[in-house]
Amino acid sequence: MNYPTFQNLIGGQWLPAAEGKTTLNLNPADHSDVVGAFPSSHGGDVALAVAAAKKAFATWRLVPAPKRAEVLLRAGILLQSRKEQYARDMTREMGKVLAETRGDVQEAIDEAFYVAGEGRRLFGQTTPSELQNKFAMSVRMPVGVVGLITPWNFPMAIPSWKLFPALVSGNTCVIKPATDTPLSTYNLVQTLVDAGLPPGVVNLVCGSGAATGMAIVEHPDVRAISFTGSSQVGSLVAQHAAATFKPVSLEMGGKNAQIVLDDANLELALDGALWGSFGTTGQRCTATSRILLQKGIADKFTAEFVARAKKLTIGNGLDEAVEVGPQVNEGQVETSEKYVAIALAEGAKLLCGGHRLTEGAYAHGTFFEPTVLGAVTSSMRIAREEVFGPVVCLIEFDTFEQAIEIANSIDYGLSTALYTKDVNRAFTAMRDLESGITYINAPTIGAEVHLPFGGVKRTGNGHREGNGAIDFFTTWKAVYVDYSDKLQRAQIDNAE
Ligand code: NAD
């Protein structure tokens, strides 16, 4: 079989894993299509990458931030010219349809342009000193070497949300992509190199979570970890990072609710629900996985929603006519199957889908039918646990207050949506829904890079990406300049 072999980037050099092992990256729409072989790295490779990043930090932190930003600006422009190729690479390795992978690359472009502007801001504060002839200010400092660990569902956008703010702030990076999608991160890193990023400032180390990811988390010279992935792994990452007192930014799972009130524009709510539930084959942290329906519109909405879900075209995302691509791997299909079985055992009703697709064009991929489950109550596991597949459940309610209670009754808190024309209820929901993101009359998916992105409860640990990322990738330093030419004492009574 003919396929390319890719390497890690360490200290500006493309290198195989020290042990020489590789992992194959397969097209989830057709497993006979091998995208490439990527390094299976271990602690030794990570140690080299961290040493290279540490060396590069000595000079990168001194490059003026507006100059650092220029590299990101050039990277954004290069990404624009490479968008179609990178989108096709991404669909091949990850499965989602071309319109969405083009959107994923576009998000990296948007992030590059947004963060490049931050190079001329990175504002600190000045404040009056309590003493005469003394000047007081606070300035942002880079953290040092940062470790970045990313999932497979937004394989270029999410790495860009971490790399670009880390870099403009003066940090150097070691990044580990998910084993299912290393090519898109490789393409992003290659673009940064072509844009003029000096050697060692970004180091790419491919490999498994347990061997490569954990080695980054535990390395004493890594000063902070930014992780996006499941809540289960996020908890493990935070526990291990605590041993060396690393700050950790965690962006994790979701179980996102779209609420539809009786007065909603039903067409709009249906469009939003379909896109939110089955976009990216349901494999978005912000995917709609619970649709809460007020009883007055529930029957009508359900009939129409199921009819539309049945009509979705499933197939290889490289075909422009396809609306729903494969799931990323066999494990994800098994999870979808498992949760359908759990839901049915607990009393839910299968309204459409529910099975993997194995015949004809689907025979060599990991496809699962768009699935709608009815008669679900908020205590069932299907209403509480993340599936991360094209599986959505419908829950009916009587009053607006009940809807808010059901939406909030889970452990996650990433995204919520409310469809209504009642402005009072819209504002009440904006206040009362327990989630990091709330949409009014728009689906649960569709974040923009310059707003805070993240969640509450088991979805996150308080940090934000988007316009919150610079806060994570910098630390504050307080600076006092005394120009009185005499000893002036603070923190003492009667200072004079
Ligand atoms: P995952 O947790 O399995 O893996 C995420 C990353 O962590 C991968 O790079 C993986 O190799 C690495 N990893 C795994 N075990 C590790 C360990 N022991 N130590 C260090 N690293 C380890 O998640 P996934 O399957 O890649 O992605 C799906 C999950 O990500 C879903 O739960 C989804 O909701 C979540 N997600 C969240 C957001 C968000 O911003 N909130 C965005 C996208 C995806």
pLDDT (tens digit per residue) in 174-213: 999 999 999 999 999 999 999 999 999 999 999 999 999 9
In this structure, how many other beta carbons lie within 10 angstroms of the beta carbon of residue 121?
A: 12
pLDDT (tens digit per residue) in 210-227: 999 999 999 999 999 999
Atom 18 (ligand 1) nearest CA: 210
For the Cβ of 282 lying below 6 angstroms from any atom of ligand 1, the answer is: no
Catalytic residue status for 385: no
Provide the pairing of β-strand 248-251 with 256-260: unpaired
Which of 175, 222, 228 for a ligand 1 pocket mutation test, highest count of atoms within 8 Å of Cβ? 228
Place of tokens 């844009």: 195
Catalytic residue status for 359: no
CA distance 308 to 233: 35
Instruction: Give residue 442's identity as a one-letter amino acid code.
Output: A
pLDDT for res 491: 85
pLDDT for res 495: 54
Instruction: Give residue 336's identity as a one-letter amino acid code.
Output: S
pLDDT for res 496: 55
Atom 8 (ligand 1) nearest CA: 178
Establish how many alpha carbons lie within 13 A of residue 379's alpha carbon, considering only the half-sphere containing its beta carbon: 2
Do residues 439 and 100 touch, judged by C-beta distance below 8 A?
A: no
Determine which one of 93, 107, 118, 251 is catalytic.
251
Against a cut of 0.95, is the pTM above it? Answer: yes
- Measured from the Cα of 152, ligand 1's closest atom is 26
**Ramachandran area for residue 344 (φ above 0: left; ψ -120 to 50: alpha; else beta):** alpha
CA distance 419 to 442: 7
pLDDT for res 493: 78
How far, in Å, from the CA of 379 to the mean position of ligand 1? 26
CA distance 396 to 406: 10
Do residues 41 and 4 touch, judged by C-beta distance below 8 A?
A: no
Residue 336 backbone phi and psi in degrees, to 5 = -60, -45
Q: List, in sequence order, the alpha helices (H) in 145-263.
A: 157-168, 182-194, 214-218, 231-242
Do residues 51 and 213 touch, judged by C-beta distance below 8 A?
A: no
Which of 388, 392, 387, 349 is closest to 370 using CA atoms? Answer: 392
Which of 184, 217, 230, 251 for a ligand 1 pocket mutation test, highest count of atoms within 8 Å of Cβ? 230
Residues lower than pLDDT 70 in the chain: 494-496
CA distance 459 to 364: 34
For the Cβ of 336 lying below 6 angstroms from any atom of ligand 1, the answer is: no
Per-residue burial over 179-207, b if 16 or more Cβ lie within 10 Å, else e, is bbbbbbbbbbbbbbbebebeebbbbbbbb
Atom 35 (ligand 1) nearest CA: 229
Do residues 322 and 344 touch, judged by C-beta distance below 8 A?
A: no
Do residues 32 and 364 touch, judged by C-beta distance below 8 A?
A: yes
The encoded tokens of residue 342 equal 């759990």
Do residues 256 and 288 touch, judged by C-beta distance below 8 A?
A: yes
Place of tokens 């030794």: 44
How far, in Å, from the CA of 60 to the mean position of ligand 1? 29
Which of 113, 141, 416, 433 is closest to 287 using CA atoms? Answer: 416
For the Cβ of 248 lying below 6 angstroms from any atom of ligand 1, the answer is: no
Determine which one of 285, 369, 393, 465 is catalytic.
285
For the Cβ of 469 lying below 6 angstroms from any atom of ligand 1, the answer is: no
How far, in Å, from the CA of 230 to the mean position of ligand 1? 4
How far, in Å, from the CA of 455 to the mean position of ligand 1? 15
